[in-house]
Amino acid sequence: MLSGRSSGKYQSDSDDIEYNIAFPNASSDETEAVVFLLGWAGAQDKHLTKYSSVYEKQGCITIRYVHPINKVFGQDPSTSKEHKEAARKLLALLDDYDLLDNPVFVHSFSNGGYFVYRFLAEEFHKNEINVVGAIFDSCPSKLEYLVGTRGLLYSGVLPNIFVSILCVLAFTVVYMFVKIKLLLGLYKEPMMYEAMRDSPFHCWPHLFLYSTADVIVPAKHIEDMAAARQKAGATLVVKHDFKSSPHVLHLKLFPELYVEKCLRFMEECLNIYDGEQMPVEEGENRETNI
């Protein structure tokens, strides 16, 4: 059991995974939705609480998790055992807290969150979890060298230039190792981005929130993923370009619009889950943009 109670918040007693879970204060006869919030590399729990509060106000149960930054850039995310293990333990929380029958959402931030989502989606599929929708903030991107180095340098968690250089060098070694394996044909499975792009199993609704002003994750990578998921048969694919906000700062610069997009998408997903249909608003294309 990965739990410990403190003022309605739960945190793992295990050294290998830390999470926080919050339950709504008011009891309800309806089954609450569970929202997994998967933080970006270098995020702190206090950063995710700004997002989880949006869902908690709607009566949702929220589970916040940030994968350790040294385990994000120091491993190949396409085959990382650390990410797979984290996904299995996050899945186990649904059983631990008797939430296996609840509708589940995922809100993933940057590639740091998407790397965990990649394996969590597989676990959800294998265990037939009621996933009703997924939101992707500033992700995903292809595993390119500039994306990784910019992510390190702009993350704001590296204390000084010396540490930054060491981290970039370590990432360079991992990146070159992956590229050599690709060139030698040693990869048995496709890379993370390509695997998720073409996968038939995570066809629940998708909402992509991104910005063409993002200097870390190219907007084209996100737009290409959205188009590919729609082609692969996803129930609903929606995207919104904030145009001017930097990487994972869309909520900060456009708080009302960001919350509106998330909650409208959640409402639509739950209606689809319940067998209902949402009306299309004038000027809105439900297959591409909201």
Q: If you write DSSP's letter for every residue of the chain in order, what string do you get?
A: ----EETTEE--SSTT--EEEE--SS--SSPPPEEEEEPPTT--HHHHHHHHHHHHTTT-EEEEE---GGGTSSS-TTT-HHHHHHHHHHHHHHHHTT-TTS-EEEEEEHHHHHHHHHHHHHHHHHTT--EEEEEEES------HHHHHHHHHHSS---SHHHHHHHHHHHHHHHHHHHHHHHTT--SS--HHHHHHH-SS--S-EEEEE-TT-SSS-HHHHHHHHHHHHHTT-S-EEEEE-SS--TT-HHHHSHHHHHHHHHHHHHHHHHHHTT--PPPPTT-BTTTB-
pLDDT at 11: 52
pLDDT at 77: 62
d(CA 61, CA 22): 6
CATH code of the domain in which 59 resides: 3.40.50.1820
pLDDT at 281: 44
pLDDT at 285: 40
Strand order in the sheet with 104-109: 5-6, 9-10, 19-22, 61-65, 34-38, 104-109, 131-137, 206-210, 237-241
257: how many CB neighbours lie within 10 A of its CB?
14
Q: How far is CA 249 from CA 43, 79, 129, 253, in A?
A: 12, 29, 30, 6
Domain that holds residue 204: 5-142+190-273
Q: For residue 279, name the pLDDT band (cuts at 50, 70, 90).
A: very low
**pLDDT digit string, tens, across residues 100-124:** 999 999 999 999 899 999 999 999 9
Average pLDDT, the chain: 83
166 lies in some domain: no
For range 71-84, the mean pLDDT: 69
The whole-model pTM stands at: 0.84
pLDDT at 154: 65
pLDDT at 8: 39
233 lies in some domain: yes
d(CA 79, CA 83): 8
**Number of structural domains found in the chain:** 1
pLDDT at 174: 75
279 lies in some domain: no
Statement: residue 247 has pLDDT above 70:
yes
- Pick the residue with more confidence: 27 or 197? 197
Place of tokens 């879970």: 21
Statement: residue 134 has pLDDT above 50:
yes
For range 118-134, the mean pLDDT: 96
214 lies in some domain: yes
Q: For residue 155, name the pLDDT band (cuts at 50, 70, 90).
A: low
**pLDDT digit string, tens, across residues 182-201:** 677 776 677 789 889 988 88
156 lies in some domain: no
- Pick the residue with more confidence: 70 or 255? 255
99 lies in some domain: yes
β 19-22/9-10 pair status = antiparallel
For range 81-104, the mean pLDDT: 94
164 lies in some domain: no
Statement: residue 3 has pLDDT above 60:
no
d(CA 115, CA 83): 7
201 lies in some domain: yes
pLDDT at 158: 59
pLDDT at 4: 33
**pLDDT digit string, tens, across residues 208-229:** 999 999 988 999 999 999 999 9
